[in-house]
Chain A
Amino acid sequence: MSEPIAVRATPELTFRYAAGQYGSRFLEGLREGRILASRCPRCPRTLVPPRIACTHCSGRMTEIAEVSPCGTLLAWTLVAFPFLDPFTGVQRPIPYCYGMVKFDGTDNTFQYFLSEKDPTKLRVGQRVKAAFREERRGELADLLHFAPAGD
């Protein structure tokens, strides 16, 4: 039997994702250095990122409200293995640390980068605060990371 042949394809594809009305408000909020959440008037639930349907009752979340940039760290991981980032087509810079943070006054967690890169210095229940970059453009990267908070 002859040597098996494999044919290579290296496509470059471009996508454009709609943030929607709730997401657009959230990203505008980040530009202003604010964290915006959606609220269910019945349950009550306050969720970040804001969205149309409540995770509890599936009802419409009709209110948008600013929440504190401070929160509690509930879980984290240090990502140390190489892989291609589907956003860029090249390897994502490693290592990096991200965690699940419950903003004060909200009912879910938000997944984002942590400033701390040593997982042994992290603990469940740790207080953290969202840090914003100086020049903001209305995108998720306006949020730099969660840094340890002294409150």
Chain B
Amino acid sequence: MNVAIIGSGQTNHRSRRLDVNAPELIDEAVQAALADARLAPDGIDAIVVGNMEHFEGIHLSDLWAGEGTGAVGKPQIKVATGGTTGSSLAQAAYYLVASGFYRTVLAVGWERLSDSEGETTTGIVTAFDPIYERPTLAGAVSGLAILACQYQAKHGTKPEEAALVVVQARENAAKNPHAHLKQAVAAADVVKSPLLSSPIRYLDMCPTSDGACAVVFTSDPGDRRCAWVRGVSSRHNHTYLGDVAEGAADFIHTLQLASADAYRQAGIRDPRNDIDVVEMYEPCTWAALDWAEAMGLCGPGEAAGLWASGTARIDGGLPINPSGGVLCANPIGATGLIRVAEASMQVRGTAGACQVADVETAVATGFGGSFWNEVMIVGARKS
């Protein structure tokens, strides 16, 4: 069955939203999505909601998305897959509509990272094996630092080159009302910023944000401007970080696998030319380089060139994260859904100052857990 995205809503993501509690934060995104989709709450048949439970110390996010989502008296399920929660919400909502069980489904992702007083790393550490890996792991920062170390060793990429990813992200974020970090940075600032976990420095890494996102999926868009879902894929990974590291015999690149699968569904043969815009879940500059290659946007070791040459800019040949991406806003349980929302906005032509010209096909990715990935492709045409 054909499934379309007909609306999305986001909060203006910030480091700390003390002016609202969790239901009010969720409500902001939901009301914006309903208005964008021109729907009243009774137009929603089912809800999928999620966050990454450990950050707030509250675990039943289904409970926090009641009245505002219109969920009371309706089917609602929670989906929580860590960093990929947002992209999994989009996939779950898609499947609920595509299956024919529901006509219109609302996906809602949210996070209040400020509730744990900035200790996001503590929460992420608890996601991994308590006996073998927690003693050494320093959350997503050090996990990604291992990837960055291997990328650098393989390709000889310099920190100044990786830094261009966040330089461009901040330029784009300055145009996005929802983005959290909008201040311009130069590559020289990035390489001099405090070391977090070598080679990752403070400005190489995404922030922690409070925010929410909601996206409406339907099989019956009527005359609404819509983005059709053209490809959906998810690839999971091993339990231990020692098994997912490159060099382990059963290493798999889950983004490469998920991209290839989604491209096949969407009829994309030449990703570099067939894709008009990418909204990639890039939690750090170095990851963006590795993942652009995994997605086949360039050859091995060539990713830094996408940013250095201007190709990845909003007005470049292959814009990457015109919204400013995860490097400029990261309310984790919403982050993957924001990628889908932004990709659909590009296709629907509602991305405002971040709009890329003539978007037919947009790709959104989600990253989480022990390096697993999800991909959703949306397009202007049904097939």
A residues sitting closer than 8 Å to B (CB atoms) are 1, 4, 6, 9, 11, 15, 17, 19, 23, 27, 45, 47-49, 51, 55-56, 74-81, 83-87, 92, 96, 98, 100, 102, 107-113, 119, 123-124, 140-141
Contacts and interface: CB of A to CB of B under 8 A. Distances in A.
B250 A74 contact: no
**3 interchain residue pairs of minimum CB distance:** A77-B145, A107-B249, A4-B18
Most buried by A among B119, B133, B197: B197
Interface in B97-142: 119, 121-122, 125-126, 130-139, 141-142
A113 B136 contact: yes
8 contacts: A4-B19, A74-B247, A83-B122, A85-B122, A87-B135, A108-B245, A110-B132, A111-B241
Contacts of B147: 75
Nearest to B116: A84
A77 B149 contact: yes
B160 interface: no
A110 to B, nearest CB: 5
Most buried by B among A45, A48, A108, A113: A108
A100 B18 contact: no
Interface string B175-211: 0000000000000000000111111100000000000
Contacts, number: 139
A123 B150 CA distance: 10
Interface in B212-235: none
Contact of A108 (B149, B196, B198, B240): B240
Contacts of B197: 77-81
Contacts of A81: 121, 138, 141, 194-197
A108 B238 CA distance: 11
A14 to B, nearest CB: 13
Contacts of A78: 195, 197-198
B136 A112 contact: yes
Contacts of B126: 86
B195 A107 contact: no
Contact of B247 (A45, A84, A100, A140): A100
B243 interface: yes
Given A15-B130, A100-B242, A80 B136 contact: no
B134 A110 contact: no
A67 B200 CA distance: 33
B145 A102 contact: no
A18 to B, nearest CB: 9
Contacts of A80: 194-198
B136 A109 contact: no
Contacts of B121: 81, 83-84
Contact of A23 (B131, B142, B242): B131
A111 B132 CA distance: 8
Given A75-B153, A78-B197, 18 more contacts: A4-B18, A6-B18, A15-B130, A49-B131, A55-B249, A56-B249, A56-B250, A77-B198, A79-B138, A79-B141, A79-B142, A84-B121, A85-B125, A86-B126, A102-B248, A107-B250, A108-B245, A109-B248
A17 B145 contact: no
A62 to B, nearest CB: 18
A23 B153 CA distance: 33
A149 to B, nearest CB: 18
